[in-house]
Amino acid sequence: MPQIWFIGGPNGAGKTTMANRWLADRIPIISPDSISALHGVGPVQAGKMAIKEQERLLAENASFGIDTTFSGKREIDLMLRAKEAGYKVNLVFVCVADAMICKFRINERVANNGHAVPSEDVARRYDRSLSNLTIAFDIAERVFVFDNTRASRKLILSIENGRVKHLSNNIPEWARQAIPNSIIASRRELGR
């Protein structure tokens, strides 16, 4: 069964680092930022190229990953289409406490010759990515939610085939807003 991995979260949350550590040596990871750097094109053209590559791999029934802010309607649509096509849909969601932390990290990245993201885009995408996370719980077969606010990333939640496998005792506020109450209530079933 082919797999699709969405490595999602707001700009500056650490999803590219996560994608590179978890998946890059096993499956192709499609990233508009990487495409932009590799081909010397702007973000709009890189986004179009990323979509074209996603569609090609989907048509070939190949496993692949997507490094995404997870803030648009297209990601949810692609999840649904992949599931319908027989893919195992996986989501690794990485977030931080607020958009200000994202902006700070992006500024650090820019200072080290990395790519910039307009501040208004960061704030908008932060909120939209959390909204899409809520929707994705009903689609993805496996979900891993990480808090990357501090120096070491922390697994908040893991779900496989609708069953909660791990739920942290300390759920950050951003995650409380995005994770459905029924999942948070399942802590009792885990014996906590």
Q: Which two tokens stand for residue 169?
A: 């005792």
pLDDT score, position 102: 73
pLDDT score, position 190: 55
pLDDT score, position 103: 82
Pairing assessment for the beta strands 64-68 and 88-95 based on DSSP bridges: unpaired
pLDDT score, position 118: 67
Q: Find the DSSP H helices in the chain.
A: 15-22, 32-39, 43-59, 73-84, 99-111, 119-136, 173-178, 181-185
φ/ψ of 37, rounded to 5, equals -65, -40
Give the chain's residues under pLDDT 50. 192
pLDDT score, position 115: 72
Domains and CATH numbers, the chain: 3-188 (3.40.50.300)
- What lies within 8 Å, CB to CB, of 136 at 6+ separation is 6, 70, 76, 79, 91, 93, 143
pLDDT score, position 176: 94
pLDDT score, position 28: 94
pTM of the model: 0.90
Cα distance between residue 157 and residue 134, in whole Å:
13
